[in-house]
Amino acid sequence: MKKAERINAMIHFLADKKSFNLKELMARYNISKSTALRDIQSLEEIGLPIFSELGRYGKYQLLDTRIIAPGLFTEGEIYALYFALLTLKGYQSTPFNMESSTLELKYNQALPQKLQQDLSLMSKVITLEQVNHSNTSIHLNEIVQGILQETVFTIVYNNHEHTTLIAQFIQLSSKFGQWYARIWNVESKKIRVIRCDKIQSLDKTINVASMPLEIALEKAKNFYSNDQLLSFSIKVDEKGKDIFSKENYPTMKIEAIQEHYLITGQYHRSESEFITDYLFRFGQSILQIEPVHLQKSVSKKAQLIANYWKRL
């Protein structure tokens, strides 16, 4: 086996390892100790952060931050990865403990000079629309780990008023630069979607049994099945479009219709109060609401608030 082929094979072999020893490489690739040492040096030179421990066939540790050599990717794949990296800049926060600018710098440093120049040019000729807002979701990393580890949390949630939830995170999604989490509310036994930037705190809850993730995902799918969903639409003006851009949910979308905008979406039968509160925020920017029962629900809420103000 040629050295280039052997180094490439070693990268794949070590990809899922946290440690290895010299003897492993010597036996696996039928090479001498001196050749194995030279190969390890080559691995370090292409970006694998390896440090050794003392001993005749000393143990080598691989840091979790190790870099996958760019030689494993085609030029087209590198461009595709860089394009994905550019999209991260549209988010105030991500589920990863790293700034996109830092990631971009390290990504470029690992590439040949010619590719660096091409990617620099790409960043100038490709622009992506971004939604500018100050909403920061500081718990995304904890949420992702919680989903994978099937953790139950005590969540302090501030959506116009502070609420405490005992819940398990099921899914994480994003839209228009906002992050949303689908949770299983342990107390109410219901699926709910919450905005991640409105989570004030997360604490792991002990002595509360979690649900296997596969079962939770199946419940989420069934909860939002077509026979449980109701459709709605509202026509809004320019101000309503701005309100929608600042707060909306994954089941909603907006499209321009002549000089106005149409917001359409779906909600679960149990979320009638939630959708009424959401639409009420649009105020006088609403020009039309369908279906009629939803229009009556929003009007009723407006009347209750008007009566409240009269009593003051």
Q: What is the pLDDT of residue 65?
A: 44
pLDDT of residue 108: 66
Q: How far is CA 271 from CA 24, 43, 191, 268, in A?
A: 58, 55, 10, 5
214's tokens:
């596969």
C-alpha 149/C-alpha 175 separation (Å) is: 25
How would you class 124 by CB atoms within 10 Å of its CB: exposed for 0-12, middle for 13-18, buried for 19 or more?
A: exposed
Q: What is the DSSP code string of 55-85?
A: STT-EEEE-TTPPPPGGGS-HHHHHHHHHHH
In the CATH scheme, what is the homologous superfamily, with its name and number, of domain 227-311?
Answer: ACT-like. Chain A, domain 2 (3.30.70.1150)
Fold of 3-62: Arc Repressor Mutant, subunit A (1.10.10)
Give the distance, in angstroms, between the CA of residue 35 and the centroid of all CA atoms in the same chain. Answer: 43
Asked if omega into 95 is within 30° of 0 (cis), the reply is no
Is residue 62 within 8 A of residue 51, CB to CB? The reply is no
> Residues of CATH 3.30.70.1150 domain(s) within the chain?
227-311
Task: Locate CATH 2.30.30 in the chain.
Answer: 140-223
pTM (two decimals) = 0.55
Fold of 140-223: SH3 type barrels. (2.30.30)
* Best CA proximity match to 156, nearest among 211, 196, 208, 190: 196
- pLDDT (0 to 100) of residue 10: 85
- Asked if residues 205 and 152 have their Cβ atoms less than 8 Å apart, the reply is yes
Query: What is the mean pLDDT for each group of 10 consecutive residues in the chain (312 residues)?
Result: 82 78 90 90 78 68 57 69 74 67 66 76 73 75 92 89 91 80 91 88 91 89 71 93 84 90 86 85 92 91 88 78
Burial code (b: 16+ CB inside 10 Å, e: under 16) for 39-56 equals bbeebeeebbebeeeeee
**CATH 1.10.10.10 residue ranges for the chain:** 3-62
Q: What are phi and psi of 33, to 5 degrees?
A: -65, -40
Question: First CA to last CA across the chain, in angstroms?
Answer: 86
Q: How far apart are CA 52 and CA 68, in angstroms?
A: 19
Decide if 259 contacts 197 (C-beta within 8 A).
Answer: no
